Amino acid sequence: MLIIAHRGASGERPEHTLAAYERAIDQGADYIEPDLVATKDGVLVARHENEISGTTDGAERPEFAARAATRMIDGQEFTGWFTEDFTLAELRTLRARERLPELRPANTAFDGLWQVPTLAEIIALVRAKEAGTGRRIGFYPEIKHPGYFLDIGYDLAALLVEELHAAGYRSADDPVFIQSFEVAPLQRLDTMTDLRLVQLVSAQGGPADLPDMAYAAMLTPQGLADIAAYADGIGAELRLLLDDEGASTGLVEAAHAAGLVVHGWTLRKENVFLPPLARLGDEPPGIGCEGSVWQALERAGIDGVFTDDPGRSSMWRQGMENLLCDVAGTQLRK
């Protein structure tokens, strides 16, 4: 399976920082995954959401107190500080922080050390690490809320393609996947680039740009065939791929039959994110048995997995069985 570093090595460093991406690369990740949003002056930067009060110190900066706003995004109301209200120069004065401090307190030691990176900086990092390691490092960007951004004048799809093509990423053979939970942006991208595209799907809800469409309907044989008309794969929530005992649900096989690759999201080590059979103890931040989930995903035949801990996933992929949990009742069914 491909190891896709989910927002970098976000289990060890504040997500979407150059440090998180570099650590993931050093740990053997095949791809790094930046989520992309736009600044006021139209620059693509990496943040999980365009609302940044939880991932930067922006809410505590008195000079930006007046920037607090309430926005309706994909049918939900959010109040906070938004990237589209900051120029790149203003955003660069902020510092990144750990998004999940209650689960990953060790990561808070790095709060305040790094800026919000631009897409150009992430590409430069990848190129430098490729030169230093002699291996190709993949790039797996997600455009966040593209419909919302298009409505306020920012075409994330066009901005991304322009920057990737200028950097030499143009072919389906290049190590790039572009992903989105929405459908129309991927259909547009299919006419704009030969780079590979991935339709993200969740166990609940549906695409923000198709309010009458459920993701469940997109995962029927006909729905998968429709996806295959514009995309090269699906990025599916893990509980869509494995049942409660770790057996394949059949979605991997159905997607492969439609000619789609399957990447699963997201493998994390903390109990709170793991299926019951892979948890160790009752504490949500406790480290569970995610190596067993890795094994179950391998048996299901998926092509890649998003992980917050690429170093640990690299060990699972190398078959370091001694690192797998041995406690009775914690192994997922073989």
What are the residue numbers of the active site? Answer: 6, 48
Closest of 332, 196, 207 to residue 263, by C-alpha: 196
Token pair in block for residue 164: 């990737």
Amino acid identity of residue 279, one-letter, is: R
Closest of 73, 78, 38, 26 to residue 54, by C-alpha: 78
3-state helix vs strand vs coil in the chain, percent to 5: 35, 20, 45
Q: How far apart are CA 323 and CA 315, in angstroms?
A: 8
Q: How far apart are CA 6 and CA 151, in angstroms?
A: 28
Contact 39, 88 (CB under 8 A): yes
Q: Which residues contact 27 (CB under 8 A, 6 or more apart)?
A: 5, 9, 310, 311, 314
Q: Which residues contact 129 (CB under 8 A, 6 or more apart)?
A: 22, 25, 26, 137
Calculate the CA dihedral of residues 4, 10, 12, 18 and round it to 10 degrees.
90
- Which residue's entry shows tokens 């991997």? 252
Q: How far apart are CA 305 and CA 112, in angstroms?
A: 29
Calculate the CA dihedral of residues 128, 130, 134, 140 and round it to 10 degrees.
170
Cis ω for the linkage preceding 330 (within 30 of 0): no
> In terms of C-beta distances under 8 Å and separation of at least 24 residues, what long-range contacts does 316-321 make, across chains too?
316/291, 317/1, 317/3
Contact 59, 78 (CB under 8 A): no
